[in-house]
Structure 1
Amino acid sequence: MHGTIMTLLKRYVQTQYDHATWVRLVEASGITYSDFEVQAVYPDQDLYTLVGHAAEMSGVPAEELHEKFGEYLVPDLMLMYGKLVDPTWRTLEMVENTEKHMHVHIRHQNPGHNPPVLQVERLGKNELQVEYVSPRRMGALAVGIIRGLAVYYNEEDRIEIEPVTSENGERVSIRVRRN
């Protein structure tokens, strides 16, 4: 897992709860470090373990935490990759172009960093079918990011996001509509 994601997870826990919660979470997870280097790559299992223990501690299902974290990530992702974003895009256009603009850039700039593959099909002017493909099985995070994009573009009341398959599979189908 990219160090940026791990760093943002730490900040998410600290802002949603507090620093003491982060410390308890790291201790419960058995991870020997609590600070992450942004450019480093960490075992995916570290994120799964942290989120799993956070789910146990909070009573919130892990998939829901992944979604909430995905929503939280969007402003930082837009700040990091804003130069790759066309200013005329809104939620659907952003989702439609993430693979060919942001993910290709990430893979090229940082070999070894493997964002999910997003296969996006435009079904109509106001509808997309997204196929999330990743052995990480973090489709809920992708759903959260799409929800976060709708908030970012002030379209949260106009965008419907419907996972068509289980959000914890290697391949997750997500339907996104603008009303």
Structure 2
Amino acid sequence: MHGVIISNLKKYVEEKLGEEAWDTLRDKAGLPGKAFIPISMYPDSDLEDLLAAAVEVTGQGRDEILKDFGAWVIPPLMKMYRSFIPDDWDAVTFLKNIDDRIHERVVRMKDANAKPPHINVSEISPGLLEVEYQSHRDMSYLALGCVYGVAEYYGQKAALMEEKRVVGTHRTFIMRISAAEQTQRDAV
């Protein structure tokens, strides 16, 4: 697992649950005192153990935590990798290019042997996307949360229309991306 994900998980946990919560999760995960550096790689089991601890501490489901974290992590990742993203993109364009032009490139830049998930996004009709997640990891809800986060980052709205579990950890989500509703302040 890429350290940038786990190091951002730490920030997420501290923001949502308080600074002491990270130490609690690491202890419950059997990782007391372990530091996670953004540029390093870690065993997938470290993230899984931290997620299991988060489920125990919060009472939330694993997929719910992954989805919320996925939406939360987009702004820091966009800031970190801004040079990879053309200024004229919107949420749909970003998502359609996520696997080939961004995700794969960033992960392989850090570790040539990494096995990132395959995330294929195709536009079925204007604003209607099919997001296909394939990986040996069961992190599809992280990807789903990221779709929500990308839409919000671009001032748009994402809505889940359909979810299909194809095989094992392979999932497909049908998402509608649309302009965010006008706020009352914008209407004045």
1:22 aligns with 2:18: no
Distance 1:107 1:47, change over 3 A: closer
Q: Give the corresponding residue for 2:91.
A: 91
**Deviation at 1:168?**
9.8
Q: Does 1:9 align with 2:35?
A: no
Report matched runs for 1:65-104 at 5 Å. 65-104=65-104
Superposed displacement of residue 163, structure 1: 4.9
For 1:109, the equivalent position in structure 2 comes to 109
Distance 2:166 2:79 in 1: 27
Counterparts in 2 of 1:176 and 1:3: CA distance versus 1, 3 Å: same
**Which deviates the most, 159-168 or 26-35?**
159-168
Q: Which runs of 5+ in 1 are unaligned?
A: none
Letter in structure 1 aligned against 2:86:
D
**Residues 168/137 of structure 1: CA separation in 2 closer, same or farther (3 Å cut):** farther
Supply the distance in 2 between the matched residues of 1:128 and 1:43 (Cα, whole angstroms): 32
Q: What is the match of residue 176 of structure 1? A: 175
- Counterpart of 2:7, as a letter, is T
Q: Which residue of 2 aligns with 1:134?
A: 135
Report the TM-score when normalising by structure 1.
0.91
The structure 1 segments of at least 4 consecutive aligned residues displaced by more than 6 Å after TM superposition are: none
**RMSD in angstroms over aligned alpha carbons?**
1.8
> How much does 1:150 deviate?
1.2
Q: Which residue of 1 aligns with 2:55?
A: 55
Q: What is the Cα deviation at residue 34 of structure 1?
A: 3.0
Deviation of 1:16 after TM superposition, in Å, equals 0.8
Q: Is the 8 A contact 1:139 1:172 kept in 2?
A: yes
Write 1 or 2 for the structure with the bigger share of strand: 2
Give the conservation status (yes or no) of the 8 Å contact 2:107–2:116. yes
Maintained 8 Å contact 2:151/2:177: no
Alpha-carbon separation, structure 2, partners of 1:30 and 1:163: 37
User: What SS does structure 2 have at the residue aligned with 1:164?
Assistant: strand
Give the equivalent residue in structure 1 for 2:37. 37
| 3-state SS, counterpart of residue 160 of structure 1 | strand
Q: Contact 1:161–1:175 (CA<8 Å) still a contact in 2?
A: yes
Equivalent residue letter for 1:59: G
CA contact (8 A) 1:70 1:141 kept: yes
Q: How much identity, in percent, do the aligned residues show?
A: 29
- Number of aligned residue pairs: 177
Q: Which runs of 5+ in 2 are unaligned?
A: 179-188
Amino acid at match of 2:48: Y
- Encode CA deviations 1:85-135: one digit per residue, 9 max, x unaligned: 122222111110101111231244121333211122221122111111111
TM-score, with structure 2 as normaliser: 0.87
For residues 107 and 74 of structure 1, do their structure 2 counterparts lie closer, same or farther at Cα, with a shift above 3 Å needed?
A: closer
